[in-house]
Each structure stands twice: as C-alpha cells, then as structure tokens.
C-alpha cells in the first residue's frame, strides 16, 4: 500500500492518494483490484479515533471540499461549511472527503489504468453502485485507522452514500446527516440521466468509450450536463436569475445564436463541465445513482435498511427542490421512525431548487451546526 | 395558386396542399414566397361561411387531426375529439387544420425547396414566430373563403397560436379555446428547448443544417425528443406507468443497456420521432415557441394583447402539467378580465401532466363541448 504525498501537518487540507491492494467485491459480482482512492483530510484524528467525520460528495463533485482545487485554484466546493469554527468544525473533527469510486478525480474509474491491459479501463470498468462507493470509503477509513465515524454527511448523491453507510455499516457511525437527497431514484430521475447517457453515447467521439487516445465526446457530455443542470435549479430560480432577458444585444437575432441569457448560461455550464469531467465517469456514476434503491436492497421495505442502525439521523430538504423533493426526505423519516431510529427533519425554504444545499444558507448552517453540536 | 388533391366530398378529412404566391412578411423582416400550406378540412362550410373552426396543432403535430396519417396509417392525433357528434362536431363545423409554417409535413419549412437555389432552404429558411404561423393560417383561410372563424382551438403550442389569433386578428374570431398552454415561454421552457437544439447541432450529421443529401442528425434529434418528452409527463405519471420496473430480464444487467422500462420507453420515443420529423424543423419551431411572449409584443402588458379582442375565451389547464402550469393559464385569464373579455377557466385533474390534453378525458370533452355549444 502506497500513500502520496504524505504530510505530517493535517491541519490544512492535503490532497492524498492511496492505492489499496483490494480486491473489493462489487455488487455486480466483479472484483476490483487495486482500489485507488484520492482524498483530503482536515483537522487531526483524536487519540481515541472518535472525532472522524466523513463528507460524501455529489455526482460531479470531488474530494477538495474545503481547500483550493490543485489545478483550477478554485475554492473547495463546501468551503463555507467546512473549516475552523465552521458548522463542520475542523478544530473539532478529523474531516475526510474521498473522491467516489467511478469518478475521474483520482479514484479508480473508467479512465484509470487497467492493470490487466496497461490501458484505461474505459467500458471494461465494472458497473458500480452507491454501496460500492461506500465500501471503498470504508477501505480508506481502515487504512486511515478510523474504526468509527462520529458522523457521515452528504448532500444529493452524497446523501445517498450517507444513507447507504447507515444501512451497510450500522456499527460504524454515530450520526448521519442527509441533505437534499433520496432513498431511491424515481422514474423521472432515471429518465433525465438516461437523456444524458444517450447524449454522450450519440457523440461519435465516444467510440464505445475508447476515446482516451483521441478527442473526448465533449459535445455529448456538454448536452448531458445542460439537461441535468436544469434539474438542479427551480423554475422560480431560473426566472429570477434570467427570466426572458436577452444577451447584450437589445433585440432578438432571429437566428440560432444564444439570444436569451439562460441559453448562454446553459451553454457555458455544458462547455465548462467538459474541461473537468470524464464522459465515461458520468455514465458510471449516473448508473450507480439510477440503480440506487435502498428499500429494494432490503427486501422492499425501507425501514428494514435501518433495522441495525445505531446512528441518530438528520434529514434536510429544500422546498423548491424538484429533483429530490421534500416528500422523498419525508418518506425516509417515516422509515426511520418505523425502525425506531432517532431522526429529525427540516424542510428549508429557498428559491434555488436542488442546488440550494451548495449555496450560502444560514439556516442550513444552523441545522448542521446544531445537529453536530458545533453550536452556530 | 395550385391545390392538390382536390375533392368535392368534404365530409371526410382530405389532405390538401396549397401553394400561395405570397409574399408573407415575417416578424423577422424577411419575405417568404411562395408559401406552401398542407392542411385538412372536415365538414362543410356553411353558405354564410359562419361555421369555420380552426384547430392549431402542437410542436410536433400535423394537420391530420381526425383522419389516418397517409403514410403511417395511424389515426389522427385528436380523432377522439373531432368528428360527427364529437365535441368538435364536424356535422356542425367546417373544421380546418393546417400544418404550421416551419414544419415538415407539407407546409413551408427548412426542408422545403428554396426557389432561389433549387435546393432545400436548410438554415437559410427565415426564423419564424408563432404570429408568422398565424399569418400563414390567415392566408389559407382567405384562400378557402373563410372570412371569420366561429372558433380557434389549440393545445400547447396550438394554444399559443389561438392566443396569437385573438391578438393579431381580433375581428376574425368569435371564440378562442386555449388548452394546456401559456402566453410566454419561461426561462425553464427555453432551457429545455435549448438542450434539444444543442443536441441536434452537436450531431456531426447536422452539418450546419445541410444534411438533406446525406444522413440526417437522427441521434441528436432523438436526444432532443427524449429531453422534451420528460417535460410532457408528470413525475407521478411516470411513476405510475414505469416506476423502477425493469425490462423483461429480472435483474439489473450491471451494464448500459436499457435496464429500466422508462429507459427503453424514452429511447423508443426518441428513435420513433426521427422517422417522422425533420431536425431543422425542430430547431425552427422550438425557436418560435421560445420567442413567444404575447405581452412583450404588446408593450409588456398582456391585457393590451386582448384590447381589441371580440371573442369569448376558454382556458383549460391540467393540475399536473409542469411544462405550462395552471399559474400560466390563470395569468392569461387575469389579463382577459382586465381587458374586459369574456373568459372562463377550468383546471382539470389528471395524473398525466402536459400530455393530458391529447389523452382520453371526459372532463375535457365536456368543457370543449360546453364552450362550443355542441352539448356532450
């Protein structure tokens, strides 16, 4: 086992990378070996190991949760939430955030080298599940000497991982915080992801996934991102932000340029995404999300997923989130209550739809700080 | 002027095609000539010409409203609504339905021959508006000797045309029936259409629109249709119809085939669409819808659009339609009331989202029959 780079100073976030020998047995039956994991840590692990907190990232996220991205220089994606004196207080917690299995930011995924061939896996990478991501995180925690988590925290796909943690390793966590998430992907959720996958696969550059020596399917990936991005925003939020306002020009062009600001914004979102994300990873991770149905994994009854859980739970939803609406969080709470697990639930008001969990929200800060006992 | 095929028997729907010399001055400033219009008529025009009723079709519709499609043999898209003794009673009304300008079912559109070059217009076809479609319909009615409409009826984009009729030719209609529609496209509406356009334009076969001699951008058009199709259905409808049910196989494939029924359904919708629709037409018509903002055309105040209207209005929305939600219909009714136009409004309950207006709905039949005085 190999860890690079190492550092004695864990007070600042440091991008690390570990190659664990594996093999990791996956839900689909395959064995994955080795298992690479890119991660960051913040704060110091207490001598008794009791202060570890795992943050799980969303579909296109990464492990740079609270420190600048090494390549883009952009601040961490949850910088406002994680740090000394912040709701997820790194003076108190030893915070770990790992890039999920299947992604393209350093953990094993379709762009990783396949030891058997010496070339990228591409579509030979095994299809993974949310539970497989969680199992890989557990391997990492073993490696870090973390037997038990004080808390696992995640929004969106991160929330699915948090729920899967409670179901898969009930003895390893004390608290579970699930934000803007769901216990299963609905037909509409699957439908939007399928549009994105078909957009990628329709791009001739995709070439059955074997594009790593040539031009990537950027056009298809951009369309996939555009479609998904609409689901992250509320109708009201889009209206507030763009409405029908035109671009710089004052009049409609009567052409097919981006006349409306919302068109230009979406095109930019699509294009910018292709600079930082691998199309095959997008296929694999959306597949994992679509496969996710925690009840199905437990005989069809969601409460059964939490039978052995020892954690206390907190669920947070946003009233304008139509991707994972409040009703999904509420049904999770009902299952937790049925399983006699301590659960609190709050629906926050925000005009920003699903994306609200990533945006500045004093209410969310208070809920998280309150649940983790960090005050605020 | 040339009409083919002609028939003396107008009791049965007959597909006709007329080439009007034009020119038609378009909102974008261009002059279109000649103006081809494909249409069907049902019933007989009364000697006083007072029983004409125009049906306006939706984005991907056609003029075969109540008779079998000549190529596919499929029944008309509103067969259940239009016919002898039906709510739109062809024993009473002389019903006209014309393929919209910009489409690909026989009316002038990007696939039509450009007289100037002898080749298809492709992207040289002028960008059109909903009002341009309405002006072309007015030309057709002139040709048919219909001075005045007893009613204009339309759902979705057809409803936009009906509203535009009331604003553009206030003296030419007595009744206006607008179903599941809106007076303007919102940022979210535009965003979904932009995803579709980008999917088409990302397909290398699109070739800047010049694909009529080769393979069309079918893959891009299929993705566009898939994205749009999701907006036509409600989340609850998708859950009822598909939920998370798998295809024939009993287990997940852990691959990228269509595992879920909803994936297979969407793929089929996308693919089937490419057999019947032209990708450039999709670009032009979605653009026309995105440009549509009836208030903007009238100094920013929707009520002003109806100042000269002499028709009575009926607005119908469906409670699960999230593409053009009830609030949009309600704001139209408020503008009508402000303009002192007689207006009735009903929100119908349906699990099927936007598509409900095309489906079997005894309540909708009753509303339409009641408004048109055909009983039911």
Q: Return the pLDDT at B282.
A: 98
pLDDT, one tens digit per residue, over B289-337 is 999 999 999 999 999 999 999 999 999 999 999 999 999 999 999 999 9
Contacts of A150 (CB under 8 A, 6+ apart): A50, A51, A52, A53, A93, A173, A174, A175
Nearest to A76, CA basis, from A40, A38, A102: A40
Candidate list B107, B329, B354, B361, residue with the active-site label:
B354
Distance from CA of A225 to the nearest CA of B (A): 9
Nearest to B187 among A255, A262, A290 (CB): A262
* Confidence (pLDDT) at A281: 98
Q: What is the DSSP string of B303-348?
A: HHHTTT--SEEEEEEETT-SSS-HHHHHHHHHHHHHTT--EEEEEE
ipTM value for the complex: 0.94
User: Percent of chain B, pLDDT > 90?
Assistant: 91
Q: Give burial (CB, 10 Å; 0-12/13-18/19+) of A243.
A: middle
**Are the C-beta atoms of residues A144 and A136 closer than 8 Å to each other?**
no
Model confidence over A113-151: pLDDT tens digits? Answer: 998 899 999 999 999 999 999 999 999 999 999 999 999
The CA distance from A269 to A224, in Å, is 10
pLDDT of residue B33: 96
Question: What phi and psi values does residue B165 have, to the nearest 5 degrees?
Answer: -55, -50
Q: Provide the pLDDT for residue A11.
A: 35
Cβ A158 vs Cβ A103: under 8 Å: no
Work out the minimum CA distance from A279 to partner chain B, whole angstroms: 14
Cα–Cα distance for residue pair B186/A178, rounded to 1 Å: 32
Catalytic status, residue B156 = yes
Provide φ and ψ at A106, rounded to 5°: 130, -20
Distance from CA of A219 to the nearest CA of B (A): 6
Work out the burial of residue A208: count CB atoms within 10 Å of its CB; fewer than 13 is exposed, 13-18 middle, 19 or more buried: exposed
Q: How far apart are the first and last CA of chain B?
A: 40
Q: A314: which 2 tokens?
A: 């907190």
CA distance B10 to B26: 31
The angle formed by the CA atoms of residues B198, B202 and B205, to the nearest 5 degrees, is 130
Measured CA angle at B43 (ends B37, B44), to 5 deg? 90
Q: Which residue has the tokens 């925003």?
A: A233
Closest-CA residue to A258 (of B193, B60, B300): B193
Q: What angle do CA A62, A8, A137 make, to 5 degrees?
A: 35
For an interface test with B, the pick among A191, A240, A287 (most B C-beta atoms closer than 10 Å) comes out as A191
Between CA A222 and CA A216 the distance in angstroms is 11
Can you give the pLDDT at residue B264? 96
pLDDT single digits (tens) B149-200? 999 999 999 999 999 999 999 999 999 999 999 999 999 999 999 999 999 9
In the predicted structure, residue B7 carries a pLDDT above the cut 70: no
CA distance B102 to B110: 6
CATH numbers and ranges of domains, chain B: 2-187+293-372 (3.40.50.1820), 189-286 (1.10.1740.110)
CA B258 vs CA A187, A290, A294: distances in Å? 13, 12, 21
Please confirm, yes or no, whether A321 is among the known catalytic residues.
yes
Contact B94, B52 (CB under 8 A): yes
Q: Which residues pair with A21 in a beta bridge?
A: none
Alpha-carbon dihedral sign for residues A140, A144, A146, A151: negative
Residue B52, phi then psi, degrees to nearest 5 = -80, 140
Using left for φ > 0, alpha for ψ between -120 and 50, and beta otherwise, residue B85 falls in: left
User: How far is Cα A27 from Cα A11, in angstroms, rounded to an integer?
Assistant: 36
Q: Measured between beta carbons, which residues in chain A are less than 8 angstroms from residue B132? A: none
Decide if A202 and B223 are in contact by the 8 Å CB cutoff: yes
A321, A329, A350, A361: the catalytic one is A321
d(CA B251, CA B245): 10
Neighbours of A186 (CB within 10 A): 23
Whole-number pLDDT of residue B375: 62
Cβ-contact A44, A68 below 8 angstroms: no
| Averaged pLDDT score across all residues of chain B | 94
Across B78-235, the runs of DSSP E, i.e. the strands, are 82-83, 88-89, 94-98, 113-114, 119-120, 151-155, 175-179
pLDDT score recorded for residue B26: 98
Q: At what angle do helices B218-232 and B279-291 cross, to 10 degrees?
A: 40
d(CA B309, CA B338): 12
Cβ pairs A/B, distance under 8 A: 155
C-alpha of A252 from chain center: 39
User: Which residue has 């555009």 as its token pair?
Assistant: A226
Give B23's pLDDT tier (boundaries 50, 70, 90). very high
* Residues of chain B found within 8 Å of residue A254, distances taken between Cβ atoms: 27-29, 126-127
Cα A154 from chain centroid (whole Å): 7
Does residue B29 contact residue A254 with C-beta atoms inside 8 Å?
yes
The bridge status of strand A113-114 relative to strand A31-32 is: unpaired
Q: Output the CA–CA distances (angstroms, integers) from residue A321 to A262, A347, B235, in the order listed.
A: 19, 10, 13
β A119-120/B35-42 pair status: unpaired
Beta bridge partners of A54: A96, A152
Residue A10's pLDDT is: 35
The beta-carbon neighbor of A194 closest among B202, B233, B263 is: B263
Cα–Cα nearest to A134, from A171, A96, A163, A104? A163
Interface test with B, best of A204, A223, A234, A264 (most B CBs within 10 A): A223
Task: Mention every residue, 6+ apart, whose C-beta is less than 8 A from residue B170.
Answer: B308, B309, B310, B311
CA distance linking residue A140 with residue B120, whole number of Å: 61
Q: Is the dihedral angle over the CA atoms B245, B249, B251, B257 positive or is it negative?
A: negative
Q: Which residue has the higher pLDDT, A272 or B1?
A: A272
Contact B176, A247 (CB under 8 A): no
Kindly state the tokens that stand for A103: 């992604």
To the question of whether residue B319 is assigned a binding role by annotation, the answer is no
Please compute the mean of the pLDDT values over residues B188-213 and round it to a whole number. 98
Dist. CA B279–CA B190, nearest whole Å:
17
Q: Beta strand A52-56 with A113-114: parallel, antiparallel or unpaired? A: unpaired
B116-157 pLDDT, tens digit per residue, is 899 999 999 999 999 999 999 999 999 999 999 999 999 999
Q: What is the pLDDT along chain A (376 residues), one digit of tens a residue?
A: 434 333 333 334 566 999 999 899 999 999 999 999 999 999 999 999 999 999 999 999 999 999 998 888 899 999 999 999 999 999 999 999 999 999 999 999 999 999 889 999 999 999 999 999 999 999 999 999 999 999 999 999 999 999 999 999 999 999 999 999 999 999 999 999 999 999 999 999 999 999 999 999 999 999 999 999 999 999 999 999 999 999 877 789 999 999 999 999 999 999 999 999 999 999 999 999 999 999 999 999 999 999 999 999 999 999 999 999 999 999 999 999 999 999 999 999 999 999 999 999 999 999 999 999 976 4
Please tell me which of the candidates A127, A198, A230 has its beta carbon nearest to residue B223: A198
CA-based diameter of chain B, in Å? 67
Pairwise CA distance, residues A364 & A64, whole Å: 20
Rounded Cα–Cα distance for residues A147 and A347 (Å)? 32
Q: String of b and e for B70-106 (b: at least 16 CB within 10 Å)?
A: eeeeeebbbbbbbbeebbbbbebbbbbbbbbbbbbbb
Known catalytic residue at B281: no
């Amino acid at each position: 086992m190999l860890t690079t780079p190492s550092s004695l100073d864990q007070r600042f976030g440091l991008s690390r990378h570990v190659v664990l020998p594996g093999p990791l047995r996956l839900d689909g039956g395959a064995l994955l070996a080795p298992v690479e994991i890119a991660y960051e840590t913040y704060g110091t692990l207490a001598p008794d190991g009791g202060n570890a907190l795992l943050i799980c990232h969303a579909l296109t996220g990464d492990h740079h949760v609270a420190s600048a991205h090494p390549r883009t220089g952009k601040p961490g994606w949850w910088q406002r939430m994680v740090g000394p004196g912040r709701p997820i207080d790194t003076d108190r917690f030893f915070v770990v955030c790992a890039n999920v299995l299947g992604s393209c930011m350093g953990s094993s995924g379709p762009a990783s080298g396949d030891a058997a061939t010496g070339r990228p896996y591409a579509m030979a990478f095994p299809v993974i599940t949310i539970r497989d991501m969680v199992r890989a995180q557990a391997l990492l925690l073993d490696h870090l000497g973390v037997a038990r988590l004080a808390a696992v925290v995640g929004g969106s796909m991160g929330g699915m991982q948090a729920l899967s943690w409670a179901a898969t390793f009930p003895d390893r966590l004390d608290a579970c915080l699930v934000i803007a998430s769901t216990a299963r992907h609905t037909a509409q959720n699957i439908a939007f992801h399928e549009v994105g996958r078909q957009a990628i696969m329709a791009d001739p550059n995709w070439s059955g996934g074997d594009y790593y020596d040539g031009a990537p399917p950027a056009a298809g990936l951009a369309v996939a991102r555009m479609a998904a991005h609409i689901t992250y925003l509320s109708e009201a939020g889009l209206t507030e932000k763009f409405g029908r306002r035109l671009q710089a020009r004052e009049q409609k062009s009567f052409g097919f340029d981006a006349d409306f600001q919302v068109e230009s914004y979406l095109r930019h979102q699509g294009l910018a995404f292709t600079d930082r994300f691998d199309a095959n990873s997008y296929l694999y991770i959306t597949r994992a999300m679509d496969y996710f149905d925690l009840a199905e994994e437990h005989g069809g009854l969601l409460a059964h997923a939490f039978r052995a859980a020892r954690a206390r739970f907190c669920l947070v939803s946003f009233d304008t989130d139509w991707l994972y609406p409040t009703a999904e969080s509420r049904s999770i709470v009902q299952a937790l209550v049925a399983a006699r697990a301590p659960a609190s639930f709050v629906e926050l008001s925000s005009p920003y739809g699903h994306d609200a969990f990533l945006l500045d929200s004093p209410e969310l800060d208070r809920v998280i700080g309150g649940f983790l006992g960090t005050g605020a």
